[in-house]
Amino acid sequence: ASMGGMIAQHLAAQAPQRVASLTLMMTTSGARALPRPSWAVQRTLLSRPRGPGTNAAVDWIVHMLRTIGSPGYPPDLQALRARALESVQRAWHPAGSARQLLAIVADGDRTPLLQRITAPTRIVHGMADPLVPLACGQHLAQHIARAETDFIPGMGHDLPDALLERFAQGIAHNAGRGPSALSGL
């Protein structure tokens, strides 16, 4: 999902023999004409926690996740805070996130690669995604041959628990469109 989908586009285009099926979630081709994140999202991504310490980091993560999250599937705030705390305690490296943002910008426009993707592709995108707007998912669908789409009302840039079964069914369906894992035996 997201940045992982950007990496997956490179893999599927440059090593198609290694990709039996492809599901791209909440991602973009990086085409410069596509809409960018909303100003509220950009401000949040470029901001920092209000102070040092675990609580400030958790507050910032919760704010960021709520900013990009699904308005149609609001998270349980207690569970969100618990997940943020777990993330901070496991590995809190804000400089790493900054480097990831720079890598996304530096990667540029992958549109020319999209026509080389031959794997059965499913594009899942939230219609309320403020980080990677819906037009980005629509652009992918227009440039990847025979791509199937699942554009979800009320979904932002997260994976709401209420949609996990839908995601799993869609991924399984798409995997079934590819060559059988047993065909090479």
Residues composing the chain: 185
- The pLDDT, as a whole number, for residue 102 is 87
- The pLDDT, as a whole number, for residue 185 is 41
Structure-derived torsion over alpha carbons of residues 45, 50, 56, 59, reported in degrees to the nearest 10 = -50
pLDDT tens digits, residue range 65-83?
A: 999 999 999 999 999 999 9
The structure's pTM equals 0.91
- The pLDDT, as a whole number, for residue 183 is 57
* pLDDT per residue as tens, the chain (185 positions): 999 999 999 999 999 999 999 999 999 999 999 999 989 899 998 888 888 899 999 999 999 999 999 999 999 999 999 999 999 999 888 888 888 888 988 999 999 999 999 999 999 999 999 999 999 999 999 999 999 999 999 999 999 999 999 999 999 999 999 887 545 54
What does the alpha-carbon distance between residue 135 and residue 6 come to, in Å, rounded to a whole number? 15
Question: Could you give phi then psi for residue 63, rounded to 5 degrees?
Answer: -60, -45
What does the alpha-carbon distance between residue 138 and residue 127 come to, in Å, rounded to a whole number? 10
Burial class (CB in 10 A: 0-12, 13-18, 19+), 12: buried
pLDDT tens digits, residue range 138-160?
A: 999 999 999 999 999 999 999 99
- The pLDDT, as a whole number, for residue 97 is 80
> For the chain, which domains are there?
3-34+110-177 (3.40.50.1820), 43-103 (no CATH)
- The pLDDT, as a whole number, for residue 118 is 97
- Where would I find the beta strands (DSSP E) of 102-154? 121-126, 148-152
